[in-house]
Amino acid sequence: MKKTILILALSLVAIGLLGFQTGAYYEFERLFAGNALAHDSGRNGTPGSNNHNSTSSSDNIEVNVIFNYGNSTFRWSNDTKVPKDWNFYNLTLYLTDGNVHSELYNIAGTSEHQVLGLNGLEQNSTYYWSLWKFCPKYGAWAWAPVGADEIALSNNGVYGWQYQLQAGAQYAPVPGGATVTILDISSC
């Protein structure tokens, strides 16, 4: 009898802790994102399910992002709903749950972040993180000659992070993806 009561009490405590943790997670997400935004991630380069039933707002847009970790591991975050005034740096912080190592620079009256690491993978003397935007009118990926803070997001835009060699050719974040050289990627 005592053993049954003990197991029941421990089960209730475990359920309570699980409920508390779940509530804390969703409260953090709500506070961090500004509203109840959702994103869906695929693994190993496959897009997520793209099935979101959250309430859409005229203040939100949907974007798609790939993180290519340079070792045949990549992750898509598709149909991610974010505020339309966010930039690529804000989006990156959101998708990595804040796991971004960056340095802030004040250049010509503006502040920009140089991203040095994402999700624990740091740049070094051999590899760095490059950022990309897919240009539908060229059907190709454009390397961004500006920092993530300078990249405005567009509805249904496709963006990417690629961990790649510092020396040598630059490769699109999608294996085998075509690239195009554009000085102003906002025209994509």
The tens digit of pLDDT for each residue in 25-75 reads: 444 444 444 333 333 333 333 333 333 333 456 789 999 999 999 988 999
Residues 154/157/163/166 CA torsion (nearest 10 deg): -70
Contact (CB, 8 A) for 99 and 119: yes
Residues 6+ apart with CB under 8 A from 138: 178, 180, 182, 188
- CATH classification of the domain holding 131: 2.170.130.30
In a domain, 164, yes or no: yes
In a domain, 96, yes or no: yes
In a domain, 109, yes or no: yes
pLDDT of amino acid 162? 95
pLDDT of amino acid 97? 96
Which pTM value belongs to this model? Answer: 0.68
Tens digits of per-residue pLDDT, 89-117? Answer: 999 999 999 999 999 988 787 788 999 99
In a domain, 78, yes or no: yes
| Cα–Cα distance for residue pair 159/64, rounded to 1 Å | 6
3-state DSSP percent of the chain in helix, strand and coil, to 5: 25, 35, 40
Tens digits of per-residue pLDDT, 132-164? Answer: 999 999 999 999 988 899 999 999 999 999 999
- Count: domains in the chain: 1
In a domain, 154, yes or no: yes
In a domain, 50, yes or no: yes
Segments forming the whole domain that contains residue 89 = 40-187
pLDDT of amino acid 2? 77
| Res 130 pLDDT > 90 | yes
Please tell me which residue, 75 or 12, carries the higher pLDDT value: 75
In a domain, 118, yes or no: yes
| Res 13 pLDDT > 90 | no
In a domain, 163, yes or no: yes
Long-range contacts of 122-129 (CB under 8 A, 24+ apart): 125/166, 126/165, 126/166, 127/70, 127/163, 127/164, 127/165, 127/166, 128/163, 128/164, 128/166, 129/161, 129/162, 129/163
pLDDT of amino acid 11? 64
Please tell me which residue, 28 or 129, carries the higher pLDDT value: 129
Please tell me which residue, 10 or 27, carries the higher pLDDT value: 10
